[in-house]
Amino acid sequence: MEVLRSLLPRFLRRLWTSGSHGKNKELVERLQLYGIIKSKKVAEVMEAIDRGVFVPPGSAPYVDSPMPIGYNATISAPHMHAACLELLEEHLQPGMKALDVGSGTGYLTACFAMMVGPQGRAVGVEHIPELVDFSINNIKNSAASTLLKEGSLSVHVADGRLGWPDLAPCDAIHVGAAAPEIPQPLIDQLKPGGRMVIPVGTMFQDLQVVDKKMDGSVSIRSETPVRYVPLTSKAAQLHN
Ligand code: SAH
């Protein structure tokens, strides 16, 4: 096997070693190769924020698949994280404000914080307190630790269906769990010119892109079918 691998050109060798044995950089390169990451900025941020720091011990961090994180929740697959960062990139410019609802491991919140930088604000809202503690610890071990320390990045225990009014109006809102319908408070907390990316549905779900125009009207389009854990009450989530 090793001999066979050493005979492959470097490019194919890299593909071979990606997956369970791959490193974070190789994962990002693969997502670029498959056209999921197009933006240089998204690639840089996903390289800087090592997914390996955010998955529970024993999981395979660099495989392109969701992983259980306890409490009936999962960390999304890398291609979904990449797709959401791509969709939101223009709304994650330095100095902007980003809300991550259902922040789970804190991975995307950390990426948002890196994109909006120290002059911006990135807030994660998660209703399982143990996951909030887990995410804060993960962020402390990541490239976003300074942003957490200096306060441009924070994670809070709350029902994300109500958004985070203190941050409003937001340039970018990401929801990491599927809502039966788009919660009105999240639409209200979106800035004119801002964008929300949210999975919507129960059995069948679509990733929806919600753009608020400058006149306050809203346009919604479906990006792709998806499968997320539900955006629900804490009791319903833990009961399932
Ligand atoms: N983007 C996260 C996704 C975690 S899974 C990641 O990749 O790590 C979705 C998360 O949404 C879970 O952690 C779940 O606990 C949380 N969640 C579900 N309903 C919620 C609600 N009403 N308020 C806040 N968080 C919620």
Task: Report residue 5 CA to chain centroid gap.
Answer: 34
CA distance linking residue 185 with residue 195, whole number of Å:
14
pTM: 0.91
- What pLDDT sits at residue 130? 98
Q: CB of 27 closer than 6 A to ligand 1?
A: no
Model pLDDT for residues 118-149, shown as the tens digit of each residue: 999 999 999 999 999 999 999 999 999 999 99
C-alpha 238 – ligand 1 centre gap (Å): 12
Among 40, 136, 168, 94, which Cα is nearest to 144's?
A: 136
Model pLDDT for residues 211-227, shown as the tens digit of each residue: 999 999 999 999 999 99
Q: CB of 105 closer than 6 A to ligand 1?
A: yes
Q: Which atom of ligand 1 is nearest to the CA of 174?
A: 1
Task: Give the residue, 21 or 75, on which the prediction is more confident.
Answer: 75
In this prediction, residues 9-36 reach a mean pLDDT of: 71
C-alpha 74 – ligand 1 centre gap (Å): 8
